[in-house]
Amino acid sequence: MRILHTADLHLGRTGKEGDIWHQWEKIIEIALKENIHILLIAGDVFDNGQAEAVLKKKFVISLNKLANQGIQIFIIPGNHDLRQGNALTDLELPGVNVFYKYTVVNLDKIALHFFPFKPELSGQDLVGLKQDSGAECQIGVCHASYITLPEVFSDLGDSQAIHCPLSPEDIRDLNLDYLALGHYHNPKQWQVGKTQCVYPGSIEPLSFKEIGPRQVFIIQYDHGLRVYPIEIGYQRPYLCQDIQIPKEDIHALWPKIEELAQDLGPCFLRLTIKGVADKLLFQAFQLKAGAFLKERAIEVSWQDETVDLGWIEENRLAKQFKEAVQHRVRQSPEKEFWWQVLYRGISLLKHCENVDKKNKV
């Protein structure tokens, strides 16, 4: 028995529609090529509960391509599928099963336990729902938050999206061989007791928190359980880059912008700019560089960590510090080191001024 586990498709996400669909087509081809018997989708098929009819029809056609080859498809809703509606209506057709309440499906030597998403559920609620099965291999499917992993807790907590919290004790009490999870958007595989636990992650990066190639997982059960990932890459990754302004000259950054345009393919790029610069010149540079990169399918968001040259001229202590460091720059062979000293020192002075203002308020 060969099972393909994926989750968090988020079909219909604004600005990523085509990227996500190309990734979904990769998964369909993997299912056919790898002789998969069952496809598990652990929630968040759609990005919201009001998916467009055209998109749903397109998705159904793609599922039929699998069902016609004898692949059984099992889906549980995630929190996005049920947001402001139910995007999974009209998806049930021969070979496709959508579960809205706890269900156990016995297939030969495998029992599949489906725990559909409900915002009020906890890990212990899942334990209470689970029914005993005499099958050799027990697989659970749920859309939940394993809060013991710091990265899961941090990412979902920042988004106020900790739903159905799971602990190691919950997983042990479920007494499963494999737990097919959805909800957290980066691939993650770990073990609790005898249970192999997997988040496959989103099928296409959707934010700067989602780094690296995307994955799906194959579960193979013969006389034992074997689990392995298959990389499916991505269409447009989210990348981060820090750039230091050389010698207070914002225009000296342009060769770096040209280098990024040459080295990077289509992507979403967060540029963090550090250093000392005139604010108006920096804003003009942002407009020019942003347009240049967009022409090359690079969408830029700016993180401005510069210190305004105008503020330095108005602040007596900062101006004296700048003049002293510039004297060192002229005399020292380690010029880059002293430019770093200037930026860090000026940044600290600016931070102290901001703290002082807050304390006075």
Q: What is the pLDDT of residue 292?
A: 96
Residue 9: closest CA among 73, 78, 69: 78
Q: What is the pLDDT of residue 140?
A: 97
| Domain end point (choices 179, 199, 233) | 233
Q: What is the pLDDT of residue 102?
A: 96
Residue 229 has pLDDT above 70, yes or no: yes
Q: Which phi and psi (to 5°) does residue 159 adopt?
A: -95, 5
| DSSP symbol at 167 | -
Domain extent at residue 354: 238-360
Residue 143: closest CA among 23, 6, 36, 25: 6
pTM: 0.86
What is the enclosing helix (H) or strand (E) of 264? none
Q: What is the pLDDT of residue 336?
A: 73
* Mean of pLDDT values over 196-223: 96
The token pair that represents 129 in the structure block = 């729902």
Q: Are residues 229 and 242 in the same domain?
A: no
Mean residue pLDDT of the chain comes to: 91
Residue 128 has pLDDT above 90, yes or no: yes
Please identify which residue in the block is written with the tokens 């308020």. Answer: 361
What DSSP assignment string belongs to 192-211?
ETTEEEEE---SS--STT--
Tens digit of pLDDT for each residue in 151-202?
A: 999 989 888 889 999 999 999 999 999 999 999 999 999 999 999 999 999 9
Q: What is the pLDDT of residue 318?
A: 77
* Mean of pLDDT values over 46-70: 93
Query: How many residues would you count in the chain?
Result: 361
In angstroms, the CA 348 to CA 271 distance is: 21
| Domain end point (choices 200, 233, 266) | 233
- Beta carbons of 227 and 178 less than 8 angstroms apart: yes
Q: Are residues 205 and 86 in the same domain?
A: yes
Tens digit of pLDDT for each residue in 296-349?
A: 999 999 999 888 877 777 878 878 887 887 778 788 888 778 767 777 787 787
Q: Which among 1-5, 279-283, 350-354 has the top mean pLDDT?
A: 1-5
Q: Are residues 209 and 301 in the same domain?
A: no
What is the enclosing helix (H) or strand (E) of 142? strand 137-143
* CATH number assigned to the domain comprising residue 186: 3.60.21.10
**Number of domains into which the chain is organized:** 2
| DSSP symbol at 60 | H
Residue 361 has pLDDT above 70, yes or no: no
Q: Are residues 46 and 130 in the same domain?
A: yes
Please identify which residue in the block is written with the tokens 């602040």. Answer: 315
Indicate the burial class of 156 (C-beta count within 10 angstroms; 0-12, 13-18, 19 or more).
buried
The token pair that represents 148 in the structure block = 């013991």
Q: Are residues 101 and 207 in the same domain?
A: yes
Q: Are residues 186 and 142 in the same domain?
A: yes
Q: Which amino acid is at 320?
A: Q
| DSSP symbol at 246 | G
In angstroms, the CA 41 to CA 24 distance is: 12
* Mean of pLDDT values over 71-96: 90
Tens digit of pLDDT for each residue in 263-309?
A: 999 999 999 998 888 888 888 999 999 999 999 999 999 999 888 87
Contacts of 48 (CB under 8 A, 6+ apart): 12, 80, 83, 84, 85, 87
Q: Are residues 323 and 182 in the same domain?
A: no
In angstroms, the CA 112 to CA 104 distance is: 5
- Beta carbons of 79 and 161 less than 8 angstroms apart: yes
Report helix, strand or coil for 220: strand
Q: Are residues 105 and 244 in the same domain?
A: no
Q: What is the pLDDT of residue 268?
A: 96
Q: What is the pLDDT of residue 203?
A: 98
Q: What is the pLDDT of residue 346?
A: 73
Residue 43: closest CA among 135, 136, 126, 115: 115
Q: What is the pLDDT of residue 168?
A: 96
| Domain end point (choices 209, 233, 257) | 233
Residue 253 has pLDDT above 60, yes or no: yes
Q: What is the dihedral of CA 234, 238, 244, 248, to 10 degrees?
A: 120
* Mean of pLDDT values over 106-117: 94
In angstroms, the CA 35 to CA 188 distance is: 24
Assign 208 a pLDDT band (cuts: 50, 70, 90).
very high
Residue 118 has pLDDT above 60, yes or no: yes
Q: Are residues 70 and 206 in the same domain?
A: yes
| % of the chain at pLDDT higher than 90 | 68
In angstroms, the CA 282 to CA 291 distance is: 14
Residue 236: closest CA among 264, 278, 195, 200: 264
Q: Are residues 120 and 263 in the same domain?
A: no
Residue 260 has pLDDT above 60, yes or no: yes
Assign 31 a pLDDT band (cuts: 50, 70, 90).
very high
In angstroms, the CA 204 to CA 27 distance is: 11
| % of the chain at pLDDT higher than 70 | 98
Q: Are residues 327 and 247 in the same domain?
A: yes
Q: Are residues 185 and 36 in the same domain?
A: yes
Cα–Cα distances (Å) from 310 to 48, 245, 247, 250, 278, in that order, read 46, 16, 15, 14, 6
Contacts of 358 (CB under 8 A, 6+ apart): none
